[in-house]
A and B are shown apart, each in its own frame.
Chain A
Amino acid sequence: MDSTYGQSVLKSLAWLKPAVFILLLLGAWQMEVFLHPQQLLPGPWKTTLGIVDLFPRGLIVRYIVASLFRVTWGFCLAVLVAVPLGLAVGWYRRVEMALNPILQILRPISPLAWIPIAILWFGVGDLAAIFLIFVGCFLPLLLTVINAVQSVPGVYINAGRNFGLGPVPLMRQVLLPAILPRLITGLRITLGIAWLVVVAAEMIAVNSGLGFLIVDARNAGNRYDLVVAGMVIIGVVGLLLDTWVRSLERSSLLRWSFEEKQ
């Protein structure tokens, strides 16, 4: 009894440490702003007021939904194309060798470099933003899947074949589950990229969403309290997305891969 009590105290203490640290940081920030009142950058208090200010207008909810909508589409399209393609490319060595130079050239190009082309093809609007997210997610995901397929131990493939699986059942019943742990990690990282890209895309290619909120607040009268408020909201939503995918990672479906690694 005593020890569980001690453990729970320890747990709340573990939670306490970062909380104290954050409070200290916020205090320092507030102090800094207090000492230099002439600058435009808001302190934590003004930022909080900014966030509160955004809610009654309903705008913020609409902007979050708009951003999530674009991320969902861009990300899902990338998954739908990259995963089957990656399975096939990873499986057929020759295709991989043919494709590899192109992939290596495309890879270092920032998705933001595609902004002019996105606007040229799709105009200013949702499609351009979705396209940019797609571009940002597609390559990392494709490369993750190709790599994962190529590192599946040969015994699994041979065993699957030995029990009479043809190519398609082999992909579904052996290859896909074998790469699932890496795939989920890849999906989590890619979703993070999508969330980075959507903000940038919205600053240029559309006029709604959290990225637009930030540029708009600056352009319409230097409302830096709203700029920082927008940044905080972007951080919080991104964190929630990441937490959600991490909980998928830990689901019972993937328990084996976690235990294997330990």
Chain B
Amino acid sequence: MSSSASARAAMAIHPTLPSLPIKLRTENVGMAFLREGKTLPVLEDINLEVGNGEFVCLLGPSGCGKSTLLSAMAGFLRPTSGAILIDGEIVRGADPRRIFVFQERGVFPWLTVEGNIGFGLRKLPSKERAERVNHYIQMVGLEGFGKSYPHELSGGMKQRVEVARALAVNPDVMFLDEPFGALDSITRLVMRSELLRIWQAERKTILFVTHDIDEAVQLADRVVVMSARPGRIQQVVSIDIPHPRDISSPRYLELRDGILGQIGLAHRL
């Protein structure tokens, strides 16, 4: 049963994808690192198309190259082979139109919350800048903390600062690398639903890395399942459940179990 479900899932195409213009495309992307004189292949033959405004989760075991792929898409790393295109142009470096959200580690400790969120808005006149900063402080629920320094905030609040800092520059694409991995499970759930709310309001293209199957199935339009190193795309699963998702619905469980089966895990422990 689970194999037929996964087969169905594998064939399913995202219902809205054909109508979405392609935002990001990877063509035979391969990545290898040189380590102690040997080449270590990390990614092999990654072919992926992501539609404009789509929410895609990259799911895979630790060390399979998810962060590497995301860094390459963001322009921090050059792929060893193949090409990554955004809006039809080859990615050649970091760009403010596509922001990478690190775990809360990326917040600058020497700037206040306001300073962090306004970091990418240096070119705006100060009044406009303050307005935007305020807008996003409110959007992520940090009212009253504008003058606080990151060390005065909890992990979840720092993560909100990072997300707000990214949103403030109004990027087309956001890359999130296990953004909620360091949070406690309750905060993580809250942050997930807030990210969905923001995504539905702003319709960015989102590439979201996780190793948590439930997180992927709760959030994504499509889940890209990757195999262990060297990372390849094993399967792409469309999650055809409208938001807000009922995580006890048969379809949710079917899709989740299909992915579990695909990566060789029964859902019974």
Whether, in the assembled complex, A156 has its beta carbon less than 8 Å from a beta carbon of chain B, the answer is yes
Asked if residues A256 and B151 are in contact (CB atoms below 8 Å), the reply is yes
A153, A155, A163: which has the most chain B beta carbons within 10 Å? A163
CA distance A178 to B106 in the complex (A): 12
Other than the given A158-B100, A159-B100, 12 more pairs (CB < 8 A) read: A155-B102, A158-B94, A161-B94, A162-B74, A162-B98, A162-B99, A164-B96, A177-B108, A178-B108, A256-B151, A257-B110, A260-B151
Whether, in the assembled complex, B150 has its beta carbon less than 8 Å from a beta carbon of chain A, the answer is yes
8 A Cβ contacts from B80-125 to A: 93-96, 98-100, 102, 105-106, 108-111, 119-120
CA distance A177 to B152 in the complex (A): 18
Asked if residues A162 and B150 are in contact (CB atoms below 8 Å), the reply is no
CB < 8 Å: which of A155, A256, A260 contacts B106? A155
Whether, in the assembled complex, B76 has its beta carbon less than 8 Å from a beta carbon of chain A, the answer is yes
Cβ contacts under 8 Å, A255 to chain B:
149
Do most interface residues of chain A lie in helix, strand or loop, or is the interface mixed? helix
Q: How far is the CB of A126 from chain B (nearest CB, A)?
A: 38
Whether, in the assembled complex, B169 has its beta carbon less than 8 Å from a beta carbon of chain A, the answer is yes
Q: How far is the CB of B73 from chain A (nearest CB, A)?
A: 12
Cβ contacts under 8 Å, B150 to chain A:
256
CA distance A48 to B61 in the complex (A): 74
Cβ contacts under 8 Å, A153 to chain B:
105
Q: How far is the CB of A157 from chain B (nearest CB, A)?
A: 9
Interface size counted on chain A using CB atoms at 8 A: 18
CA distance A179 to B204 in the complex (A): 34
13 contacts between A and B (CB under 8 A): A155-B102, A156-B108, A158-B76, A158-B100, A159-B108, A161-B94, A162-B76, A162-B94, A162-B98, A163-B96, A163-B119, A163-B169, A256-B110
Cβ contacts under 8 Å, A88 to chain B:
none
Q: How far is the CB of B263 from chain A (nearest CB, A)?
A: 29
CA distance A241 to B105 in the complex (A): 36
Interface size counted on chain B using CB atoms at 8 A: 23
Cβ contacts under 8 Å, B109 to chain A:
256-257, 260
CA distance A177 to B149 in the complex (A): 14
Asked if residues A162 and B100 are in contact (CB atoms below 8 Å), the reply is yes
Question: Interface of B with A (CB < 8 Å)?
Answer: 74, 76, 93-96, 98-100, 102, 105-106, 108-111, 119-120, 149-152, 169
Asked if residues B96 and A162 are in contact (CB atoms below 8 Å), the reply is yes
Asked if residues B149 and A159 are in contact (CB atoms below 8 Å), the reply is no
Asked if residues B110 and A155 are in contact (CB atoms below 8 Å), the reply is no
Q: How far is the CB of A30 from chain B (nearest CB, A)?
A: 50
Map CB proximity to B onto A147-186 as digits: 1 under 8 Å, 0 otherwise.
0000001011011011110000000001001101000000
CA distance A255 to B147 in the complex (A): 13
Whether, in the assembled complex, A2 has its beta carbon less than 8 Å from a beta carbon of chain B, the answer is no
Q: How far is the CB of A250 from chain B (nearest CB, A)?
A: 15
Cβ contacts under 8 Å, A259 to chain B:
149, 151-152
Cβ contacts under 8 Å, B149 to chain A:
255-256, 259
Nearest A residue (CB) for B108 = A156
Nearest B residue (CB) for A154 = B76
CA distance A77 to B143 in the complex (A): 45
CA distance A121 to B17 in the complex (A): 76
CA distance A155 to B169 in the complex (A): 18
CA distance A34 to B105 in the complex (A): 64
CA distance A256 to B110 in the complex (A): 6
Q: How far is the CB of A139 from chain B (nearest CB, A)?
A: 27
CA distance A209 to B33 in the complex (A): 59
B102, B110, B111: which has the most chain A beta carbons within 10 Å? B110
CB < 8 Å: which of B93, B120, B152 contacts A163? B120
CA distance A260 to B149 in the complex (A): 11
Nearest B residue (CB) for A177 = B110
CA distance A256 to B107 in the complex (A): 12
CA distance A122 to B96 in the complex (A): 53
Cβ contacts under 8 Å, A159 to chain B:
100, 102, 106, 108
8 A Cβ contacts from A228-258 to B: 255-257
Q: How far is the CB of A185 from chain B (nearest CB, A)?
A: 15
Q: How far is the CB of B9 from chain A (nearest CB, A)?
A: 34
Nearest B residue (CB) for A165 = B122
Nearest A residue (CB) for B120 = A163
CA distance A236 to B248 in the complex (A): 74
CA distance A65 to B120 in the complex (A): 47
